Amino acid sequence: MNEYLISRQTRKTSVNPFIKSIYTADPSAHVWSDGRLYVYASRDLDGMPTSQINFKTMDQYHAFSTDDMVNWIDEGEIIQARDLNWGVEGYMWAPDAAFKSGKYYFYFPHTSAEPWNDNWKIGVAISDNPTTGFEDAGYIVGAGGHALIDPSVFIDDDNQAYLYYGGGAHGYQVKLNPDMISLKTNPEEIIGLDDFHEAAWVFKRENKYYLTYSDNYSGNNRLKYAMSDTPMGPWKSMGIYLNSVGLETSHGSVVKYKGEWYAFYHSNDLSGSNVLRSICFDVLKFNSDGTIVPVIPTREGAVRLDTDVVLDDEQMISVKTAEDAEIIVGSIIQDDRSFFNSVLSGFNLFGSTVKFNNVNGFDGGNVNIGFYYSTPEKLAKLRLIVNDENISVINFPFTGGTHTYDGYANITVKMNPNKNNNVQLIGGNGAIILEAITTQKLR
């Protein structure tokens, strides 16, 4: 077991998708008072036969944050279906979040019973922290129903909060009470939109209100928008701001951060599958009359840092290297030139497994596990098991070859305090050369 004062991996140029270790969708972007930008996303769970993966198996919301739009931190899981005392397994679709009166509110659609599409509710979880400690507060009475999903909450300058939601060609808008979990007025159907499908999102710019949403275009949804002088319309359709990215679904959010506007969305560029999506963003521009300049999706370079990233005081990061691995089956330790002297290979063999014991969880809670690796594969994968609990399948995208050790995948999980954790990695889905794993306590 080694511990080093090392810096976490940093970048100077943004990439899309900007989260690659796990599959994510439906990004909801917000800037809170700590000055960071947070994205709350749904998850497309991997690790089962492709034929079994669908939108019904979505679960385990995660949040991500950044202070430079280039380097992102996985803040960990927000909530999942098994944390609720209502509803069914899975069906955790596009979420949103809001902050009011010292509390963070996490909104999500979830079906409460079969038949699933007739029983959608708008769930709410509440916390004192933007990424941890969320507790189920039930659902909003009077909202939801057949195909009515995708909640979005907008708080205007007068502190009045509004809820927008809908699906199946019907969208609704309604005022919330100060408690943020009950309705102040009766929901009214949103009119004036062109071919509304789902994914309503409202933001304000220069005293104009914008409502963005996805349409029904030929199974490859586009993102459109409407404008108004008030947060509840009347809405005037203004056209497309993001054309189809080749997916069955499209879902976006818009936020201003450090003087620049950004459009968030998801794509299948990483997986090539409609049910394994990844979140992306690009710069959003406006014309002089307030209309939106259509977004051209990028793979990299939407944001470039002018200088090297200067991190805060270096944090203690606990490192496990190849020498620390217990070989269970299939893998070998192979000497190689690397920062950590040796590496692990053989993960391409089905069932190949290594185990790391006495992994540091610091004082417990959310801990980020990082993986330094190389791979010649377009997209290799390992299954992660922590303390004998199946956590997730982790993606390991192409690095340039077996000796290009600039690959870095990571995920934040709950761990036990101190060096009381074990981590297993199981291969069988692509060649990976593992240099080291690390754990780091989050802020």
Q: Indicate which residues carry an active-site annotation.
A: 26, 198
Helix H, strand E, coil C: the string for the chain is CEEEECCCCCCCEEECCCCCCCCEEEEEEEECCCCCEEEEEEECCCCCCHHHCCHHHCCCCEEEEECCCCCEEEEEECCCHHHCCCCCCCCCCCCEEEEECCEEEEEEEEECCCCHHHCEEEEEEEECCCCCCCEEEEECCCCCECCCCCCEEEECCCCCEEEEEEECCEEEEEEECCCCCCECCCCEECCCCCCCCEEEEEEEECCEEEEEEECCHHHCCCEEEEEECCCCCCCEEEEEEECCCCCCCCCCEEEEECCEEEEEEEECCCCCECCECEEEEEECEECCCCCEECCCCCCEEEEECCCCCCCCCCCEEEEEEHHHCEEEECCEEEECCCCCCEEEECCCCCCCEEEEEEECCCCCEEEEEEEEEEECCCEEEEEEEECCEEEEEEEEECCCECCCCCEEEEEEEEECCCCCEEEEEEEEECCCEEEEEEEEECC
**Closest residue by Cα to residue 305 from 71, 73, 64, 72:** 71
